[in-house]
Amino acid sequence: MSDKGTIGILTGGGDVPGLNPAIRAVTIRAIREGYRVIGVRRGWAGLVDLIPESGADNSAHMQVLTEDIVNRAGRTGGTFLHTSRTRPSHLPHAVVPGRLQDRYTDEVNDVTPDVLKNIEFLGIDFLVPIGGDDTLSYALRLHDEGVRVVGVPKTMDNDVPGTDYCIGFSTCVTRTIELTHALRTTAGSHERFLVIEVFGRYAGYTALLPTMAGAADRCVIPEYPFEIEHLAELLVEDRGRHPSKYAVVLVSEGARMMSEDMSFEGADADQYGHRKLGGVGDRVAARLKEISANYNNGRRVNIVNQRLGYLVRCGDPDALDSIVPMAFGNLALDLILANTSGRLVSVRNGVYDSVPIDVITGRKKVVDLHKYYNTERLRPIYKSLTRQPLFVMTSDV
């Protein structure tokens, strides 16, 4: 048992490199400061499915963390605590635990009262959720219910408001640049357009930053519906200037052509109301192939079309996604030791800090088109980088 109390840690939403280093950082510091640390398994699902009875087998829902456990995991990608997109305030009846189904009978249920009971049963004094705006929005709900919460931002899209950086973003950008450059050999060999679909539901940072770094000639992002004919014309120009006669465009998964909707893989939505995105790269590639002849003296340009998908979120973290999680974890403990909760750890203008966790629901963090995106040329703007943050683009004020 601990002298100071118990800290709970969980990871929610999609996996990214850097989650295990963050869990390690929180755990190592917490244990050395005299806390007991519990890892909640499968995100918010662990606090829904836990059985609050002495002697119950809750090994699938939680585990006590030690330095040995987190040291081994901290060098790897993904999350050893596992994750889910469970939303306890909007839980479908079909996934309500059997022991609770008589109490929660609606098609969609708010099981927060039992989540609070389970937090109390575990004796959690502070809860550290690591996730994106969906996971953290429920953390805000628990904060409003009186739970002492310190949030850690994570998402490849880098779209959590209140921070310039989220765990997973650097590795995503690094992999996108590496894989795009690797695919250039095929595009150049066949004199084709290279169309690459990358992550980015509402924010275009994961397409814009690699393009700024020279990975692509053009990029299309969720913040700006684009004309496919205009993109075709620009790519034909790019291809004509290139010695190997090819051109590259990065397509955010949330991007859409003018007068068209976002592209989804199916009709089903998760508990946060999000349908799975995917397929816009295929649509863009097909249209480019169809209309390219209009701008290429009647000759159609063939396409190399690739969705990077999980290749940019799997495997080990890069250097930045090893260092930032360490700092975020220690920032979380700094707040806990000061008995401060309701905060989100952050990086702002290159300085580690924290902000009120209610920033999560205050606004969306998206690309400022006026500052960072040339809508006529479909590429980044960076006239001056003086006093800009490390990754240049942020919508924070």
Q: Are 382 and 212 in contact (CB under 8 A)?
A: yes
Catalytic annotation, pick one of 157, 164, 238, 321 = 157
Structure tokens at 278: 């995917």
Please state at what angle helix 169-190 crosses helix 205-212, rounded to 10 degrees.
Answer: 60
CA-CA-CA-CA torsion sign (129, 132, 134, 140): positive
Distance, CA of 192 to CA of 305 (rounded, Å): 10
Half-sphere exposure of 49 (CA within 13 A, CB side): 18
Distance, CA of 81 to CA of 236 (rounded, Å): 48
Q: What is the chain's percent helix, strand, coil content, to nearest 5?
A: 40, 20, 40
E strand or H helix at 127: strand 126-131
Distance, CA of 7 to CA of 125 (rounded, Å): 6
Q: Is 157 a catalytic residue?
A: yes
- Determine the 3-state secondary structure of 238 from DSSP: helix
Structure tokens at 65: 């963390």
**Residues with a known catalytic role:** 157
